[in-house]
């Protein structure tokens, strides 16, 4: 009989000498949690959270722990690839090449472009964490055609906030759930942002706070809500206007806050038909003027927060009105009964919720014993907050009316007195900025010359029509960002690029470079036609309309098949990265923070970090900013760039804010530190600074904070940041549409009408533009998609562990509505939009608003990609609704994309559909490419619970040549 040894529970396990731990930053989603990676030898064995980390506080989720299987995914690209010259693009017939062949080929293409017409390079990136670096690289190249994925994601959220309060939600701001009594969430999927928000909601509910979710679907966070308010997609703006209607009608506006910290009392010139109409009345010094109760007109600062919010005044023959009256006039039309007819929310519910918000904010103020001094010079003995907090994301943003909806949300916060106050919305460092932030792209063709860097950053925030990148009515950018079509396209328009490039509008390009964006699958719309555009040829010459396509990616995605050259990237566990204050930081409301990634594993075979590859290309091209006056490289790797780069020579500001200076003893501003990464490694890969209590709130008005922010170069001068209840920049575009602006303005009547209609200086609601394109009776439903908590973009559904949690996605529909249409639970159905149709399996769900159909995103995979077996459920039972989402509006000339007319945000959630029984009992369409083996073969193999015909060669991992 075998001997059994009893183990003392106090006995310590023997230490494994082969175990070691490395701290880094997760990238299984965009939360950027701090993680501790445990390795046994060179193999990653466990991933957990870092308790001290400001983002996740030691918590980690299923995605974070499953990073192991992302690292060891069979879908990894292992070496550079080039399209077989004898094979057409799109068939996936790629051949391995050495690095020098790939680099020299691409260098040749890019060198010719830069020497002749830098516009002919279009470089667009996905949800990477190197946007500051990528934007700098493109600027040094000299092309105007760079942007990240925001146009397809949530530029409306970013721009709506920046043009309202100089910050926004998500990476720019956060609901203060530690002090809130009421929390209202609009349109947030459970991956935005998973761990921090789960922790915050848990704390709110433990303290007895109330949680309300406004969403067409009750999933994820909605399951935790005290109240679900189902709403028709694309109607949130009408709901928000009605909430403001009730607050104003019932006297629940925080007028003291509005008078002191917003431009609500600023006097606006009321002179229709003149170039001054709708602009602020200013004194000779350019200061906004306000009226006092006495009727005297003084500057905004001189009024000391005592400007009146209502009235009509006449000066020098000009009629003047406080800006607040324009908002009041608009929202008083938005009655709860009107909103009910649009949103489906009963008017009694709208009134009840508005009263609850108003009464909680007024009757239960947060009073903190924190004295502070405002920009008027007034001293406050306490810090007062309004405990009503909001969070919102793509559910509000991804509509063609989303910008004005989000403007409305921030105006609602201002009326409640809940912007950067305890219990409300709080900025994350380095915000707030001026409204909008004072950065904008160079607007003239001569700013983009051969062999020259661009004259300014490539993205920013226009303030007048003179900032447009246009020549007459024609766009200067391939994505038409900053044109009359999409004037405030602060994140560009990645979704517009392929069609415009294929059609040669506004001009043909030579090379399309794509990094970390699956543009042939889930990061595009009208998928089948998009694939045809990538392979389209000129009828006369037979050449591809997009001559060269370069893809940088870690995995064998659907887009790889359409590349001419593929550069294999590393995973986040194999490289150095910076989550930077210059980009999308990990700051919390209590102060700035940033972090690094450091390698926990060697690069897979011949893969290299994309940033290293781009630096090598920059050095070969001798791009200014990357080489010195003698043409010698300043940086050899991204590791060098992270530590040595400065925003301007001698600025002392770089990618990382901590441990600056030659001794690592400075923060935020200091000389580059060539050992900076070592300091971060010693501090578990992150740095943070907590603001003093008297600088944590009212930062737009807190003079001590403003002085400090200017000293660390977050803002130019320590001047007041006045919140924009009323947007004068929007009004300048309306004047251009009316032909009254003295500078740039469009001549095309349709372009002019769009500016007049959509550029209201106060929030408005209008139906999604798809309602003008689709037959609403033929297509009565809207279809939505959102990411599940288990997956992020398309990264999760090839992960062996995460696939076991979710690997197929039916479409969900309210059972009452489904029965009305004669549809049964579990049957196959056709889903048809105005551009095409697809099949899916239908499931009943009571957690869906009746006029909505929804499903998960990024679960489905195209056959032949991701090293998945052709019979895998992601191929045979999962569906991708991108196939039927229209990319173009159905106007008579096909000139406009299905984008928000203000920002160019893709109307991702506006698609209207009909659903009816399908005779086809399988997934259709079935786009596929020839399957490829993305990894090198090896004798010893290990499967890692992954069903694939080409499992991982174990000993190959970690034997990179880099």
User: DSSP letters along 824-873, please?
Assistant: -TT-EEEEEETTEEEEEEEEE-TTB-TTEEEEESS----BTSTT--TTSH
Stretch 545-569: mean pLDDT:
96
Residue 781 vs residue 7, higher pLDDT: 781
Q: Dihedral sign, CA of 707, 712, 713, 714? A: negative
Per the DSSP assignment, residues forming a β-bridge with 567 are 552
Among 65-74, 185-194, 904-913, the minimum mean pLDDT is found in 185-194
Instruction: Categorize the per-residue pLDDT at 950 as very low, low, confident or very high, splitting at 50, 70 and 90.
Output: very low
What does the pLDDT look like over 843-893, one tens digit per residue?
999 999 999 999 998 899 998 899 998 899 999 999 999 999 999 998 767
Stretch 512-530: mean pLDDT:
94
So what's the pLDDT on residue 12?
A: 55
3-state secondary structure 589-654: CCECEEEEECCCCCCCCCCCCHHHHHHHHHHHHCCECCECCCCCECCCCHHHHHHHCCCCCCCCCC
Reduce the DSSP state of residue 155 to 3 states and report it: helix
Q: What is the residue-averaged pLDDT of the chain?
A: 93
Between the alpha carbon of residue 112 and those of residues 123, 485, 565, 624, 732, the distances in Å are 16, 31, 17, 16, 40
What does the pLDDT look like over 312-325, one tens digit per residue?
999 989 999 999 99
Tell me: pLDDT of 63 over 80: yes
Token digits of residue 524 = 């595009």
Tell me: pLDDT of 942 over 50: no
Stretch 367-381: mean pLDDT:
98
Stretch 332-361: mean pLDDT:
98
Cα angle vertex 306, ends 303, 309, to 5°? Answer: 115
Any idea which fold 81-157+436-568 has? Answer: Rossmann fold (3.40.50)
Residue 563 vs residue 870, higher pLDDT: 563
CATH class of 164-430+722-727: alpha beta
Tell me: pLDDT of 54 over 80: yes
How is residue 249 annotated by DSSP?
Answer: H
Measured distance CA(759)–CA(726) in Å, rounded: 11
Delimit the domains of the chain by residue range: 81-157+436-568, 164-430+722-727
Instruction: Categorize the per-residue pLDDT at 152 as very low, low, confident or very high, splitting at 50, 70 and 90.
Output: confident
Stretch 58-64: mean pLDDT:
92
Among 174-178, 258-262, 572-576, 793-797, the minimum mean pLDDT is found in 793-797
Among 278-282, 665-669, 889-893, the minimum mean pLDDT is found in 889-893
Measured distance CA(506)–CA(479) in Å, rounded: 9
Among 81-85, 127-131, 150-154, 609-613, the minimum mean pLDDT is found in 127-131
Q: How would you label 220-251 residue by residue, b for 16+ Cβ within 10 Å and e otherwise?
A: bbbeebeebbbbbbbbbbbbbbbbbbbbbbee
Residue 203: how many other CB atoms lie within 10 Å = 13
Stretch 165-192: mean pLDDT:
92
Measured distance CA(100)–CA(167) in Å, rounded: 44
Global confidence as pTM: 0.95
């Amino acid at each position: 009989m075998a001997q059994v040894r009893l183990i003392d529970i106090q006995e310590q396990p023997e230490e494994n000498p082969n175990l070691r731990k490395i701290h880094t930053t997760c990238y299984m989603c965009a939360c950027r949690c701090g993680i501790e990676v445990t390795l046994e030898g060179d193999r990653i064995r466990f991933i957990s959270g870092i308790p001290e980390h400001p983002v996740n506080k030691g918590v980690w989720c299923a995605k974070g722990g499953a990073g192991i299987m992302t690292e060891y995914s069979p879908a990894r690209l292992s070496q550079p690839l080039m399209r077989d010259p004898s094979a057409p693009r799109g068939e996936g017939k790629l051949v391995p090449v050495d690095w020098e062949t790939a680099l020299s080929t691409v260098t040749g293409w890019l060198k010719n472009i830069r020497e002749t017409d830098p516009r002919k390079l279009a470089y667009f990136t996905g949800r990477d964490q190197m946007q500051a670096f990528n934007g700098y690289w493109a600027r040094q190249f000299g092309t105007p055609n760079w942007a990240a994925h925001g146009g397809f994601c949530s530029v409306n959220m970013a721009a709506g906030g920046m043009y309202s309060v100089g910050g926004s939600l998500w990476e720019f701001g956060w609901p203060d759930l530690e002090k809130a009594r009421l929390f209202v969430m609009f349109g947030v999927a459970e991956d935005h942002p998973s761990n921090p928000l789960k922790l915050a909601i848990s704390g709110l509910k433990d303290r007895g706070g109330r949680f309300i979710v406004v969403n067409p679907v009750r999933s994820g966070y909605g399951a935790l809500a005290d109240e679900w308010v189902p709403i028709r997609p694309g109607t949130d703006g009408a709901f928000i206007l009605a909430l403001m209607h009730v607050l104003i009608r019932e006297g629940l506006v925080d007028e003291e806050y509005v008078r002191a910290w917003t431009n609500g009392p600023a006097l606006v010139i009321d002179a229709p038909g003149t170039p001054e109409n709708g602009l602020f009345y200013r004194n000779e010094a350019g200061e906004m003027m306000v009226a006092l109760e006495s009727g005297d007109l003084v500057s905004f600062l001189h009024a000391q927060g005592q400007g009146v919010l209502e009235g009509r005044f006449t000066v020098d023959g000009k009629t003047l009105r406080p800006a607040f009256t324009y908002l009041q006039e608009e929202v008083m039309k938005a009655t709860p009964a009107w909103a009910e007819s649009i949103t489906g929310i009963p008017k009694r519910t709208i009134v009840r919720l508005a009263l609850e918000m108003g009464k909680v904010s007024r009757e239960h103020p947060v009073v903190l014993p924190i004295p502070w001094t405002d920009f008027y010079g007034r001293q406050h003995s306490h810090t007062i907050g309004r405990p009503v907090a909001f969070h919102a994301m793509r559910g509000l943003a991804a509509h063609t009316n989303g910008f004005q909806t989000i403007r409305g949300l921030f105006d609602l916060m201002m009326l409640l007195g809940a912007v950067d106050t305890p219990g409300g919305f709080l900025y994350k460092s380095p915000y707030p900025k001026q409204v909008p932030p004072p950065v904008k792209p160079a607007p003239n063709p001569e700013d983009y010359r051969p062999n020259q860097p661009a004259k300014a950053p490539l993205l920013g925030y226009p303030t007048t029509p003179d900032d447009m990148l246009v020549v007459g009515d024609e766009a200067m950018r391939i994505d038409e960002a900053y044109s009359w079509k999409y004037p405030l396209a602060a994140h560009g328009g990645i979704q517009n690029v392929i069609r415009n490039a294929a059609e040669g509008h506004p001009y043909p390009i030579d090379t399309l470079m794509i990094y970390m964006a699956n543009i042939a699958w889930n990061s595009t719309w009208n998928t089948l036609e998009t694939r045809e555009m990538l392979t389209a040829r000129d009828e006369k010459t037979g050449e591809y309309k997009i001559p060269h396509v370069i893809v940088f990616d870690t995995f064998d995605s659907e887009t790889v098949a359409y590349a001419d050259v593929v550069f294999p990237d590393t995973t986040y566990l194999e490289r150095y990265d910076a989550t930077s204050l210059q980009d999308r930081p990990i700051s919390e409301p209590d102060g700035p923070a940033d972090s690094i990634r450091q390698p926990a594993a060697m690069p897979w075979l011949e893969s290299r970090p994309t940033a290293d590859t781009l630096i090598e290309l920059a050095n070969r091209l001798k791009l200014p900013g990357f080489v010195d006056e003698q043409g010698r490289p300043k940086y050899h790797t991204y590791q060098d760039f992270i530590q040595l780069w400065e925003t301007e020579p001698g600025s002392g500001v770089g990618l990382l804010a901590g441990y600056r200076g030659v001794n690592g003893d400075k923060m935020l501003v200091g000389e580059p530190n060539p050992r900076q990464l070592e300091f971060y490694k010693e501090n578990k890969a992150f740095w943070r600074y907590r603001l003093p209590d008297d600088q944590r709130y009212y930062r737009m008005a807190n003079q001590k904070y403003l002085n400090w922010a200017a000293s660390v170069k977050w803002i130019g001068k320590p001047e007041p940041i006045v919140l924009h209840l009323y947007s004068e920049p929007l009004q300048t575009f309306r004047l251009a549409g009316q032909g009254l602006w003295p500078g740039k303005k469009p001549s095309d009547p349709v372009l002019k009408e769009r500016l007049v209609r959509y550029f209201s200086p106060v929030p408005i609601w209008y139906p999604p533009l798809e309602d003008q394109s689709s037959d609403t009776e033929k297509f009565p439903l809207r279809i939505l998609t959102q990411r599940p908590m288990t997956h992020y973009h398309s990264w999760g559904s090839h992960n062996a562990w995460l696939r076991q949690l979710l690997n197929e996605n039916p479409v969900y529909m309210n059972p009452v509505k489904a029965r009305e249409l004669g549809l049964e639970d579990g049957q196959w159905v056709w889903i048809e939009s105005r551009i095409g149709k697809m099949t899916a399996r239908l499931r009943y769900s009571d957690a869906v608003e009746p006029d909505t159909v929804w499903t998960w995103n990024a679960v489905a995979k195209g056959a032949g990609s991701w090293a998945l077996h052709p019979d895998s459920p992601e191929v045979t039972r999962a569906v991708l609704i991108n196939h039927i989402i229209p990319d173009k509006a159905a106007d008579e000339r096909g000139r406009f994309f299905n984008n928000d007319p203000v920002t160019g945000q893709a109307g991702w959630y506006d698609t209207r559909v009909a659903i009816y029984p399908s005779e086809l009992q399988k997934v259709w369409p079935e786009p596929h490419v020839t399957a490829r083996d993305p990894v090198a073969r090896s004798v010893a193999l290990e499967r890692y619970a992954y069903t694939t015909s080409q499992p991982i060669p174990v000993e190959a991992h970690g034997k990179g040549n880099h």
